[in-house]
Every structure is written in structure tokens, then in C-alpha cells.
Amino acid sequence: MNSSPAPMQTVLEAGNVLGEGIVWCDRAQALYWTDIQAGTLWRHAPASGETQHWALPERLASFALCEADGWLLLALASRLAFFRLADGALHTVCEVEPDLPTRCNDGACDRQGRFVFGTLHEPAGGGPKQAIGGFWRLDADLSLRRLPLESVAISNSLAFSPDGGTLYYCDSPTRIIRCCEYGDTVGPSRNFVDLRGISGEPDGSCVDADGGLWNAQWGMGRVVRYHPDGREDRVIPVPARQPTRPALGGATLDTLYVTSARDGLDEAALARDPLAGALFAARIDARGLPEPRFAGRPPVGGTP
């Protein structure tokens, strides 16, 4: 799996401030992602070119598809909530870290139908982020528990091996992607990939059917695939300096989609990076896996 892919193309000049959380929905044959800072959920169907978006009452960090048709589980800045696409009905499940200056960040559904996500420190008045956030799991019965992993400043790179037995994650400022044995319990963690030699940071990830981890590297303009043993396999250039998260989708799950961000770029930087915030894609010689769906049941009603 080391042949050169087709060059990455621009699918949609979305102008996202902080495009993130992209997943492929096999039922809808469409991509969903979020512009976190704009509090907007996006959907794009590649076959028709149709694009939709929904404004939300607060920032949307990440989300999961649901087994229940027409619903998503949202990780909003302060809470988890079910969202009904048809009418915008929103039903809060629980608050997250209400006593800490944090917000929800990266998240992914595990192979057992549970939603795993992390948080991000938002220091009052700015300043460096501190490792005070955590990683959490919402089970199908809607119970929430903190996973016994180290505290983080910026949670990222959440992904699961094809058999569901390994969890990948990172605290982006440390520049180390870590992994651990995963199931009903979580095993000891270890370093998976040490990226302290790069100038950027590891951001979102996805896993292919062969167990390779695809990681978007913020500030580096690239997505890198790593073998299950941590060896670098290939580097795919992205035509924007701040790629945020990859997803494997398309009808045959062999298209690599990547979101990106304009966040933090001044006018001069944007002039040098005109596609910042766009959605990109490239055909690759790897296949993805169907996106896991949250097994919990949304309420019968909901509050718009």
C-alpha cells in the first residue's frame, strides 16, 4: 500500500473557519462534518453535488451517526445532544465537564456502538492550554463515564482498529499519537507514533480496513498513513496548511476526504493559503470501513 494516490482535488470551497469531524454515511451516501467555530453542521452528497447545512445553538465539536435513521449524536461545546435532521429537534443528553473551562472536541463511535470523545481546555483570557480535559464514553444506555486515560489539553486523533480492540488518541500539543487496548475496559496506553520532530501537530484520524491509521497533520499540509505497528507508510499532500480530519468514503470506500481550517490565519496567510477551509478528496488504493453508529435510542420527541 505505498503507490502514489491521485492528486488531492478540491471538492467544495466551504470556507470553513474550523472544518472538523468528517464522517461518511453509507446510508445517505453523503459526508457530514462540522465548522466548529461557526456552530454549523454540513452535509455534502458527492454524486449529486448537493450541499446542506444546519445552524446550531452552540459550537459543534464532533458527532456520531446513529442507528436510528435521521438522527445524529452531537458533541456540542458544553453538552451531548441528539439532533433530528428533518426538523432540527435537539434533545440534551448530559452536560460535559460543567465545572471546568473546557469544551468538547474530537470524538468517534467505537465498534460496539458507544461514543468516545475528548475535551479541550479554553483558558479564560487566552494563554496556553493546560492538560485538564479528559476522554469520555457515552454508552448505549446514555450513561457517561470518564475513561482512565491521561488528562489532555487538546483531545484529538480518536479512532479504532478494525476489530475494535485498539483505541488511538492524542493530546495534540504533545505531538505523540498514543494507543491502548480497548473494550469494556481500557488497558495501559503506549506511544504509537512520536511526532515531536515535526513543526505541526497531529489532528484527526481514521482507520482503513487493513488497520492503517490516517492522520491529518495541522500546519503541515498533509495526511500521513501509519501501519498498525506505527511505521510511516505514505504521505499525501493536502492543498491547505491546516488539514483537520480525514475520512474514507464514497460508494466503494476508497476515496480519502479531508476537511481543513482557516482558523488563526491573518489576511496575508490566507492570501498564501487560498483553499484554507475547503473540503478535499483523492482516490486511494485502500478501503475504509462502514462508519460505526451510536446504539443509544434518541427520544420520541425533542425540543427544536
Marked catalytic residue, from 171, 203, 208, 254: 203
Mean pLDDT computed over every residue of the chain? 95
* pLDDT at residue 298 tops 50: yes
Which grid coordinates belong to 75? 458533541
* pLDDT at residue 165 tops 70: yes
Q: Is 184 annotated as a binding residue?
A: no
pLDDT for the residue 300: 72
pLDDT for the residue 304: 36
Residue 303's pLDDT band (cuts 50, 70, 90): very low
* pLDDT at residue 124 tops 50: yes
Give 241-256 as a DSSP string: S-EEEEEEESTTS-EE
Model confidence pLDDT, tens digit, residues 78-112 = 999 999 999 999 999 999 999 999 999 999 999 99
Which residues, at least 6 apart from 55, have a Cβ–Cβ distance to it below 8 Å?
39, 40
Q: Is 20 annotated as a binding residue?
A: yes
Q: Is 97 annotated as a binding residue?
A: no
* pLDDT at residue 252 tops 80: yes
Model confidence pLDDT, tens digit, residues 10-19 = 999 999 999 9
pLDDT for the residue 302: 44
Residue 106 annotated as catalytic? no
Residue 123's pLDDT band (cuts 50, 70, 90): very high
244-261 mean pLDDT:
98
Q: Is 225 annotated as a binding residue?
A: no
Structural domains of the chain sorted by starting position, each given as residue range(s) with its CATH number in brackets = 9-283 (2.120.10.30)
Residue 233's pLDDT band (cuts 50, 70, 90): very high
Pairing, β 135-138 against β 115-121: antiparallel
pTM for this structure? 0.96
CA dist 184 and 197 (Å) reads 34
Q: Is 215 annotated as a binding residue?
A: no
Work out the percent of the chain whose per-residue pLDDT is above 70: 97
